[in-house]
Chain A
Amino acid sequence: MVDTETATVETHKEAAGQGLWSKVVELFSKHPLLFIIAFFIVFPFVVPYKALATQIIIWGLFALGYNVCLGYTGMLSFGHAAYFGVGAYTTGIVLIRLWENVWFGLLSGLVMGAVTAIILGYLCIKRRGIYFAMLTLAFAQLLYFIAFQWVDLTGGDNGLRNIPAVPLTLPGISIDIYDPLRFYFFVLFFVVLALLVLNRILQSPFGHVLQAVRENEPRARSCGYETSNVRWLAFILSGTISGLAGGLYALYLHFVGIESLYWITSGQVVMITLLGGMGSFIGPFIGAGVFLFLEDVLSALTANWMIFLGIIFVLCVLFFPSGVWGTIKELATRKKS
């Protein structure tokens, strides 16, 4: 997608100054990170309530991790709940039983997300395409059933309750982060960190190999890249970010529900990524925003709000496969030409 992004930038350069719309898009394409960060600083003040903003960036972070798998490497995983859920449970369990330290809790969630992705990824990347999708789904369900049965550790069906609201310790001070706005910026810190790290990785030669694998794997292999290792690494990177998002979600709710490991969670991140647009930084966050905002509005109107999301998703697959951000970019490019 970076290629198309540069291409878009060039088309924009040729016809600069043609309308505000394309200018905004152009700026986005040139300095996506800067704009995302600036936007997120204002973001909590424009949404109806701050908890929604926090939820959106946590899910956005999860989808960002997922996007490394689907958008950048072209692997359709249907089991990302595994890494999200394992991250959430680990952070929660560590905070309850081991050490009441936010940093350590989140770090353990992230590491366990990575470890799970290393193990399951090893098994799943043996297969490609739809087999890969079904395998990731099956292994995520395996973890779900394990968590369901292991009541002593996870609380089983009731979920993991009473995760302590531990203050954030920095050298010399300790801050209470559980005020909605403070917690938002606490999460944003990790989102920005993840964005910077991912941006660096995706622009590195490794990142380009990822996209080469997505576009044409046999060709990438014939260029001398060990593509199965590349896919495995991308999978692990994706699982790590998902684990971090899971840990943040556990801190946000002070609770981990069993449904965080359920396949509906995996499906939700697929929907978010597709709604927003694959293979970009902003897409997952737009997707999370659209999804959670719709959920917020529709679930207040009807208990059957999932039907609307289902319909929107089906229409999106049929008519706007490149998602909201992809469609905006296409429209902007079309206006020029």
Chain B
Amino acid sequence: MDWSVIVMQLFTGLSLGMLYVLLALGLSIIFGLLTVVNFAHGAMFMWGAYAGVSIVAMTGNFWLALIAAPLVMGGYGLIVEKGVIRPLYGRDINYPLLLTFGLQFIMVEIIRIFWGTSDQPFTAPELLSMPVELFGVFYFPSYRLFLIGMTIAICIVLWFFLEKTNLGLIIRAGTRDALMVRALGIDMGRIWWIVFGIGAGLAGIAGVLASPITSVYPEMGIPMLVQCFVVVVVGGMGSLKGAIVAGIIMGEASALTTLFYPPMADIVIFLVMAVVLLIRPSGLFGRAGLLE
């Protein structure tokens, strides 16, 4: 097999890994601060994609969709947190999980009612539809390169936000010890609210970015959600570094198995997870004993 095929597949794996990273970051940031496992994250990803489809259908502008869909989903996240998740704080940690599990059924059915069950067409903008030549040896879809670049940019913005702003400082402190932050006079309820919105917004942007390379259909979030759980478990729940590293590993593992032994492509990430958990039960970057 030509090595350029392998390099090309590595790039494809990276672009898949980037989608995992975006979703896992949202899951992980919500979990780290709110201790809520958002089972509706896959459905929010799917809604993001449909929001993108609708905006493109209305305005014909992909770039507008890329900005507006995450905002819409972020707003939706704010409503969900205030409306149904907030009443469950202080109860057993499993209840938000169960609630979001029920919520995703509702979200999937709403899409089925208004858009039907068939695939929605979504093409990449003209500018990104041409393949580009990489290293002078192979052609790579420019949209996937854009996806990789966008994710890196989002990660940098997120890093900057968490490390260099006051709000980011509060969020990091809240992840360590929410009670202490509260004692210092900070309204953690508001912080939780904002963080849930950010997580939902990340799911929304992942949905728009994924649309041109996967098809847009009501159940598209389900396999994605399960794979992102695997990413988060492998990376270590609540660790953003873990989400990024594990997301890339899983994307590459999946892409390379697709190349060498396709029947294993769906299975390999679970095997990687089993191995990682046997060696490091708290994941690659997880803190042992966090919220068990």
Contacts and interface: CB of A to CB of B under 8 A. Distances in A.
A126 interface: yes
Nearest to A274: B98
A144 to B, nearest CB: 9
Given A271-B102, A314-B106, A129 B274 contact: no
Contacts of B292: 127-129, 131
B237 interface: yes
Contact of B281 (A126, A129, A307): A126
Interface residues of B, number: 42
User: For A126, A149, A274, A317, which residue has the most chain B Cβ atoms within 10 angstroms?
Assistant: A317
A141 B270 contact: yes
B81 interface: no
Instruction: Classify the interface of chain A: helix, strand, loop or mixed.
Output: helix
B99 interface: yes
A260 B84 CA distance: 30
Interface string B143-159: 00000000000000000
Contacts of A267: 101
Contact of B108 (A129, A139, A306): A306
Interface string B83-106: 010011001011101110111111
Interface string B266-284: 1100110110011001000
A318 interface: yes
B104 to A, nearest CB: 8
B73 interface: no
Given A138-B270, A307-B113, A314-B99, A131 B106 contact: no
Interface string B231-255: 0110001000000000000000000
Contacts of B33: none
A138 B110 contact: no
Interface string A131-143: 1011101110110
A317 B95 contact: yes
Contact of B274 (A76, A123, A306, A318): A123
A interface bracket (residues with beta carbon within 8 Å of B): 35 or more
A4 interface: no
B94 A134 contact: no
Interface of A: 76, 123, 126-131, 133-135, 137-139, 141-142, 145-146, 148-149, 263, 267, 270-271, 274, 303-304, 306-307, 309-311, 313-314, 316-318, 321
22 contacts: A76-B94, A130-B93, A130-B97, A130-B237, A131-B233, A134-B37, A137-B226, A138-B233, A141-B270, A145-B267, A263-B222, A267-B101, A274-B98, A303-B112, A304-B113, A307-B110, A307-B113, A310-B104, A310-B105, A313-B101, A314-B103, A321-B91
Interface of B: 31, 37, 84, 87-88, 91, 93-95, 97-99, 101-106, 108-110, 112-113, 222, 226, 229-230, 232-233, 237, 263, 266-267, 270-271, 273-274, 277-278, 281, 291-292
